[in-house]
Amino acid sequence: MDTSFIERFLIVLTLYNLLVTTSISLYGIVARPSITKKIISLTIFGDSLNVLAIFIGFRVFSVPPVLLRTDNLDELLKLAYSAVDPLPQALVLTAIVIGLAVNLFIIFLALQVYRLYGTLDSRKIKELRG
Amino acid sequence: MRKYVVLFSIVIATSVLAYLTTYLEAIGLIGLDTRYLAKLFLTFAYNPLARELTAISPEAVTSIVWDFRGIDTFYETAVFYMAIIAALAIYRGIGYPSIQSEKGLSIIVRVVTKLLIPINIAIAVSIAAHGHLTPGGGFQAGAALAVISVLLAVVFSASSFTKVGISLSKAIALRTAGLLAIAAVVFIPVVFSAFTGVQAYLMQNQVKVDSAFAFPAYIQDQLISGTLIWFNLAEFLAVSFGFFVIFMLLSLREDVVKEQLGEDHGH
């Protein structure tokens, strides 16, 4: 199926948007001193990479990877040649859960750091003993 | 100065990535066609003509998550389980007080929330039970049910957990039951093989080329896709109560925690 100029433009625009979001979040992780902001940047970083993974499996004029009729097997071939790639979706589902688990752990650690040191500024925490 | 170096290097990295992905097509021609592997998964997700290869589920994503790449998801659930253990370890020695503040939000919000909670439970169970037929599954259903724990903590205050009969240990027990149920479904083929001598594999769903073992794909003409519905329901239990544990811990009042941690934990 041929894609028009506007479709190609939108695809490239989405891709660049994702890359820019990833870069901004990477900047947040590296350069912001506040641990809260680092965590927020980390979640944005993870989410933009997940969207990028889904985006790789995208195709124009597509349907979701769900078979709607199981009585007619012609539908099966139609689905195979018109649905989006289900593999990135499955992998991203796994990545979301693992990302969530890691984020939860980091949030609990940050909470404990705040209780012990009274600050979430990484410059001040570095100077403290312990 | 250091900040500008970081900013500059990130801009350079983005430009290189943008060049690679669009002009050099490093990740393929996006939007035009899917890969051969995708077509393979879509063809064999539900295919009664190829019983040795299919997961007998019309939902391709659930087929991949719990059948084609099932072990992957099993370990993912284990990671989630470990993260909650880590959270519990950080909160060790802190008991959940039976009565905290009784304050909540206004009567209007409380009544609306009371009306919404049964609907929320129904939707969550529906997402889990139809995970092998429609988009959704155990994890999504668990996340939908976990909304209730946040609503309870915010709208009715954290003491409402005790009122509705959910304690921290009960939530941990239910979450462990979910994980044990997943493990049970994983090991049933192996146990079956040990008793009958029929060849069967770990986490097997439908018949394979050299194994006649299969979970029932239909119950009274209703498609249940073998193991997939059981995995989804067990994951639903594990994830929803895992989230309950997390939100119960996070809704503890800071002064209650500080009091139990003792004086020497202050800064």
Q: What is the pLDDT of residues A52-111, one digit of tens each?
A: 888 888 887 788 888 888 788 888 888 888 888 899 999 999 999 899 889 988 998 998
Q: Could you tell me if B39 lies within 8 Å of chain A, comparing CB atoms? A: yes
Which of A1-10, A117-126, B137-146 has the highest average model confidence (pLDDT)?
B137-146
Segments making up each domain of chain B, as ranges:
60-265
Do the strands B218-219 and B222-223 form a parallel or antiparallel pair, or are they unpaired?
antiparallel
Q: What is the pLDDT of residues A9-46, one digit of tens each?
A: 888 888 889 988 998 898 899 888 899 999 999 999 99
Check: CB of residue B175 under 8 Å from CB of residue B70.
no
pLDDT over 90 for what percent of chain B? 40
How many structural domains does chain A have?
A: 1
Q: A27 vs chain B: nearest CA distance in angstroms?
A: 7
Contacts within 8 Å (CB) and 24+ apart, A27-32 = A27/B6, A27/B7, A27/B10, A30/B6, A30/B10, A31/B2, A31/B3, A31/B6, A31/B7
For residues B7 and A122, give the distance between their C-alpha atoms in angstroms, rounded to a whole number: 19
In 3-state terms, what secondary structure has residue A118?
coil
Asked whether the predicted pLDDT for residue B263 surpasses 60, the reply is: no
Average pLDDT, chain B: 87
Least confident interval from A41-50, B34-43, B151-160, B255-264: B255-264
Asked whether the predicted pLDDT for residue A130 surpasses 90, the reply is: no
Q: A82 vs chain B: nearest CA distance in angstroms?
A: 9
Q: What is the pLDDT of residues B86-109, one digit of tens each?
A: 988 988 877 776 665 667 788 999
pTM of the predicted model, to two decimals?
0.89
For residues B75 and B81, give the distance between their C-alpha atoms in angstroms, rounded to a whole number: 9
CATH number, domain of A55, equals 1.10.287
CB atoms within 10 A of CB B233: 20
Q: Which residues of A touch B63 (CB under 8 A)?
A: 86
For residue B131, the chain A residue with the least C-alpha distance is: A66
Name the pLDDT band for A3 (thresholds 50, 70, 90): low
Residue B115 has a pLDDT of 95
Q: How many CA atoms lie within 13 A of B49 on its CB side?
A: 9
Residue A75 has a pLDDT of 83
Give B219's strand partners.
Answer: B222
For residues A72 and A77, give the distance between their C-alpha atoms in angstroms, rounded to a whole number: 10
In 3-state terms, what secondary structure has residue A18?
helix
Q: Kindly provide the ipTM of the predicted complex, given to two decimals.
A: 0.85
Asked whether the predicted pLDDT for residue B130 surpasses 90, the reply is: yes
Check: CB of residue B153 under 8 Å from CB of residue B163.
no
Q: Which domain holds residue A15?
A: 5-127
